[in-house]
A and B are shown apart, each in its own frame.
Chain A
Amino acid sequence: MGLSSAAAIASEAIQLCIFDLRRGQHEGQELDKILFFFPAGLPFSKQLSVIGLSEGLITFTRIFSPEAACEVIEAERHRHVFYESEPDVWMVMVVEKSNDSEAIWRDDALRKVLKEVHSLFVMFHGSIRALLEKEPGGELARRHLYSFIMDYLRDFLVGKKLLLPSFRDCLKERGTVQMLTIGREAAIEVQSLVRMLESCAGNSSCYSLILFQDLLVSTTLSPDDTINLFTYAVLRLTPHALSSGVSSWSYLRKGNTGSNFATESILAHSRSVSDSFYGSSDTSPDGDTHHHVVRPLQHDKWSKGKDGYLVTDIWGAEVGNWAYATPTVWLQQTQEKMYLCAYQHRNLTLILLVPVSIILNGEQGVSVVKQQVLENASLKILKVEEKLSKGWGGENAYHVSGYRYLLVDGDRNVSRASPAGKVATLNKDSLLSMSKVREEVDLEKNRAKRDGSGCERDLEFCIRAKNNAWVIARVTRGKELYMVLEKANETLLYASDAVEKFSNRYCNGAFSLD
């Protein structure tokens, strides 16, 4: 379990810290503000210097822009990406600029990682601020953050390195959901099932999420909660996540998740350093619930039970009961604590959220609801699964030959992209250009947001890249389309025709305004 030399190498490249500006404002108490630091083995002096720089810049930039302070620092050898996850609680990711040609990042993509891990954390543990208020010493928050983020980062481990989303992922969008396209008839069946599910708890304050494979079919949650639960489901709950044992980001990421076990030790920190600071992350249920840290992102913890429900011991087992405790999550929109019941039938995953407040007798009540679902909805579940399987076009269903694209609907937080396998065939130069273009679009979008005119502007980029490629970006009223056309004709007319065709065929003409 020791600190390996590899850890040191890996830790050079990427640093991630979380700190609270409201803490440790007096000299000698600086350590207090650190809530999380990766790599944990880094000496506190170095940790403090990273945080000190960040804090200084935030304070400085706030003078000019109180609402949105610093977003990124571009230094000679490092890039600092900032994200204010909660008021005064900042997350900073430091990535090293190296000669490695793979180490080219898009700030927004990195920020989305920070945003994602924070949202997931809040969903399971509540806000960091709340944890700090609960236990002002900060140990509780640190312990939770440490185990949670370390579990999360493990997903990015490839070989000996943490592979953060780089330019190669420019045709993907984190923080969006991928939807399954279904016909009207199937949609009605699904809705009928949704209503049935939510009526099972006898109360309308239930919510549900239905996934087919790693794609969303239906949700009744608010957009933000949908993203969080969808993300978690794809990470840990869907058949693919269950079977692979190791999580992959999504089916798109398949192939990258090879030999993770050998390298897990990279993330293992030196206990001698951090145990005192972060507390024990040991999850052995020793009965002392105060020290028990729930680790929802722990690997290989979910499995499918005999009754079709997914079970895990992450949340511990109830004393005197063989059954595992039902997971609970916090909804962002309603600030309600919900029981999470996940049911799986072949490729269909159903997530039912039942308010803790309406279940009077705890686990017993939850199992009654589960039973109700089985009794009332089994038939519908079978039917829906069958119907969706029939219409399912496979992993390459959304491939459009000749195009490599990413389609983002910012209003609904939905994205669709060419399959990863197809994107991988693109030339590196094309991907780099696309990454650049996206960076430009991000900039424009942020600028428009700051203007706050409420009017969404249309944008259009069309770049002739190396290897006869067209790199195109189009933004229209909240919808974004990015595409790369390789080996394409050199006229601009060709490029715009290609967009027009694609738009008419697959986007209901949303991008063909002229």
Chain B
Amino acid sequence: MSGKASSSQSSISVTGSGALSHVYIQHPPLRCNIPGSRGLFCDDGNKLLLSPTSDQVFSWKTVPFNPLVGPTSDSISEGPIISIRYSLDAKFIAIQRSNHEIQFWNRETGETFSQKCSPESESILGFFWTDCHLCDIVFVKTSGLDLYAYNSESKSLHLVETKKLNVSWYVYTHESRLVLLASGMQCKTFNGFQLSSAEIVRLPRFEMVMAKADANNKPVLAAEDVYIVTVYGRIYCLQVDRVAMLLHSYRLYRDAVVQQGSLPIYSSRVAVSVVDNVLLVHQVDAKVVILYDIFADSRAPISAPLPLLLRGFPRSSISASRFSGRETESSETNIMSDHEAITYGDEWNFLVPDLICDFANKLLWKIHLDLEAISSSSSEVPSVLEFLQRRKLEASKAKQLCLGITRTIILERRPVSMVSKAIHALISSYSHSVKTGSYVKGMKSDETSASGVPHSPISGSHVSSSGGNTFGKSSRHESAARVDRVSLNRSSTLSNSDPEENASFEKSIINVSEAQVSAKLNREKSVSAEAHKAEATQSSLQSGQQEFQLTSPAISPDEMYSFVFSPVDEEMVGDPSYLVSIIVEFLHSVNLEKIKVHPNLYILTIQLLARNERYAELGLFVINKILEPSKEVAFQLLESGRQNSQTRKLGLDMLRQLGLHNDYVLLLVQDGYYLEALRYARKYRVDTVRPSLYLEAAFASNNSQHLSAVLRFFSDFIPGFRNTSEHDTYFRILNEMNSSITA
């Protein structure tokens, strides 16, 4: 860790960026062009991209995203395909063949069976697999929801429950386990169900807001204008209002739906992605993307609209490519490249949360945040740090950026109040992560992270992605109100809108925590050998360096010392009192959060004050215990006290108060206070200091009375001392001294 940090102490400029974009997609994309493909389907339950041909279905894993991953295939029977999804345990493939029929394919036995509905009264709008304990699969029909469970004995589905409703269309994401059913003339009346593993929650019915162009023209809401997004573990529904040119947001609670305000849109075509809890609103026509961090109440965008950058495109002049272009450029890729260079093409489909699928060219892109560009685009350092501290996906990078920014603002001697705010942001983030338990050093990953492809921490089969592996537990302990504000978890929970009810999490609709274990296991397994090799070659830039997989960008006080204060102290020129001010502010923040500080920082403070000869202040710092007493601090005081006896005394006093009797006595003797040392040694039974030290000191003082007293002391209290050579030596010396006086 330390090795990495020191090597990456590159110049991270806080201001002035020539950043052209804050969001990028990394070339190459995942190419899923299969001859005879009948289109691409996204199976968000299993995080798969599916491309069926007439008798086969190819599937690519999208998490972790690796453009070089190869497809796996299953054979299926021929027929029309409206929709296709693997079951969550991957045993079945379900294919919607028509509006009335869904066919099931057992991958192990090859058996098939079909489920049909009455063609006169209703038609199937779609279906999804679920991990709800009641059922395995849900059909969404015009007449409502049908919940089926698979019966392995009869090898068929049986109906568990039906929810009767009129449905025009529906939206579902596996991430939120939430299905929204649109009904009504304008399709703006919604019923929602969340099918968590624990229970099925029915949301209160709600209406979405639609502006009217004129009195007689009532617009109809379309399915592609409604998005379910999960940000910081909260579920939002976003709705595009084309007339008002607004993106309305609704926060979904288990017992209420609350409108949360609206974001402006600047394009007739809008798409929404969520990358690492940052909401990306793509203004497709304008070919720009606006970023929002819907964490606080602020609805202000993080930064100005900027285009989506294509990174690493072989022949483009943009960007410093980190991709080495290892691939041999076949003629095929050359042809492909032209299509690949187009961003916001007409055939782009934005898959929630963070994928873009180019249906025409059969390409899959993953959207990344350029944290460096975002952080350098704002001069509001404290808010930038807060933003970075909330990032989980590239925790290590966010952490390095935070450290770099903090170093820079101190080196640039920004106003103390501003630096203080910045530090406070870091400390409170750390404190929070400690409280929630997400600050764990992280497991050591045995594969290095590929440069262009950051690790997604979890490649669960049925969990979207998640920050810490312990958050499930923590979120249950937190009150709903607290989580409303600060939870960084991505656990998809509908918390209760009533903040008083603390128990809401216990009853939360989805409890993702149990999925964590399996997700973690899957992650280990899912790294296929092939992917491993590809990654290893790709990461040539990082030269096989071992690194920790960080789950949180939180920075501990120790790290603040090692990566901020210590290096800054080395680099800083001129008056060190500025750095002392910063350290005081740091201690202030740390103290507020009740976090321990390593004595190293205190030692540095002593050195800084002593360097400036501000001994009076140093005294105040010690006496008021701003610098908490410890052996290390005491020794630094003794060291700095070489030029200032009061400071040295402070160090001695601290040793005594800490009960470090041995060191204390030794130093007393060294300073020539051998009589005091003897008294003290006797009181606290310090017998490790050799008698010869006292005797030498007494001899050096040239006081025969004292020497005789010391000698007598040891003769009386150490049995057998009279027989030692030391006794003889000093006895003789004493006699000589006395005779010389009398003579």
Contacts and interface: CB of A to CB of B under 8 A. Distances in A.
Interface stretch (B435-443, B486-494, B676-684): B676-684
B591 A185 contact: yes
Contacts of B580: 195
26 contacts: A182-B624, A183-B624, A184-B591, A184-B626, A185-B591, A187-B625, A188-B584, A191-B626, A192-B585, A195-B585, A199-B416, A204-B577, A218-B620, A219-B617, A221-B616, A223-B616, A226-B616, A376-B417, A455-B672, A458-B676, A477-B676, A508-B656, A510-B653, A513-B680, A514-B679, A514-B682
B578 interface: yes
A204 B653 contact: no
B591 A188 contact: yes
B587 interface: yes
Contacts of A188: 584, 587-588, 591, 626
A509 interface: yes
B575 A204 contact: yes
Interface in B592-650: 614, 616-617, 619-621, 624-626, 628, 645-646, 649
A445 B69 CA distance: 86
Nearest to B582: A195
Given A187-B624, A412-B619, A192 B653 contact: no
A474 to B, nearest CB: 13
B131 to A, nearest CB: 49
A401 B730 CA distance: 49
A226 B620 CA distance: 13
Given A219-B617, A219-B620, 16 more contacts: A184-B625, A185-B591, A188-B584, A192-B420, A195-B416, A195-B581, A219-B616, A222-B616, A411-B645, A411-B646, A455-B672, A478-B646, A478-B649, A508-B653, A508-B656, A508-B657
Nearest to A187: B624
A189 interface: yes
Contacts of A198: 577
Residue from B578, B616, B628, B676 whose CB has the most chain A CB atoms within 10 Å: B616
A166 interface: no
Q: Which secondary structure dominates chain B's binding surface?
A: helix
Nearest to A455: B672
A477 B673 contact: yes
Interface residues of B, number: 37
Nearest to A411: B646
B415 interface: yes
Given A221-B616, A223-B616, A191 B416 contact: no
A196 interface: yes
Contacts of A274: none
B543 to A, nearest CB: 43
Interface string A426-464: 000000000000000000000000000001001000000
Given A220-B616, A221-B616, A477 B584 contact: no
Nearest to A413: B616
Contacts of B616: 219-223, 226, 412
A192 B584 CA distance: 6
Nearest to A199: B416
Interface string B554-580: 000000000000000000000101101
Residue from A184, A189, A195, A514 whose CB has the most chain B CB atoms within 10 Å: A195
Interface string B292-307: 0000000000000000
Contacts of B657: 508-509
Contacts of A191: 584, 620-621, 626
Contacts of A199: 415-416, 581
Interface string B398-425: 0000000000000000011100100000
Nearest to B619: A412
A185 B626 CA distance: 8
A153 to B, nearest CB: 30
A412 B415 CA distance: 32
A184 B617 contact: no
A199 B415 CA distance: 8
Interface in A367-410: 376
A224 B338 CA distance: 79
Interface string B666-678: 0000001100100
Interface string A212-246: 00000011111100100000000000000000000
A184 B581 CA distance: 16
A188 B583 CA distance: 10
Contacts of A226: 616
A220 B581 CA distance: 13
A295 to B, nearest CB: 29
Interface in A189-210: 189, 191-192, 195-196, 198-199, 204
A196 B588 contact: no
A221 B683 CA distance: 39
A189 B588 CA distance: 7
Nearest to B677: A513
A413 to B, nearest CB: 10
B606 to A, nearest CB: 14
Contacts of B679: 513-514
Contacts of A514: 679-680, 682-683
A218 B584 CA distance: 14
Nearest to B671: A455
A478 B645 CA distance: 11
Nearest to A512: B683
A226 B672 CA distance: 31
Interface string A347-370: 000000000000000000000000
Contacts of B584: 188, 191-192, 195
Contacts of A477: 649, 673, 676
Contacts of A192: 420, 584-585, 588
Contacts of A219: 616-617, 620
Nearest to B683: A514
B195 to A, nearest CB: 50
Contacts of B415: 199
Contacts of A509: 656-657
Nearest to B415: A199
Contacts of B591: 184-185, 188
A412 B653 CA distance: 14
Contacts of A182: 624
Nearest to B578: A204
Interface string A458-491: 1000000000000000000110000000000000
Nearest to A179: B623
Contacts of A412: 616, 619, 646
B605 to A, nearest CB: 10
Nearest to A219: B616
Interface in B678-709: 679-680, 682-683
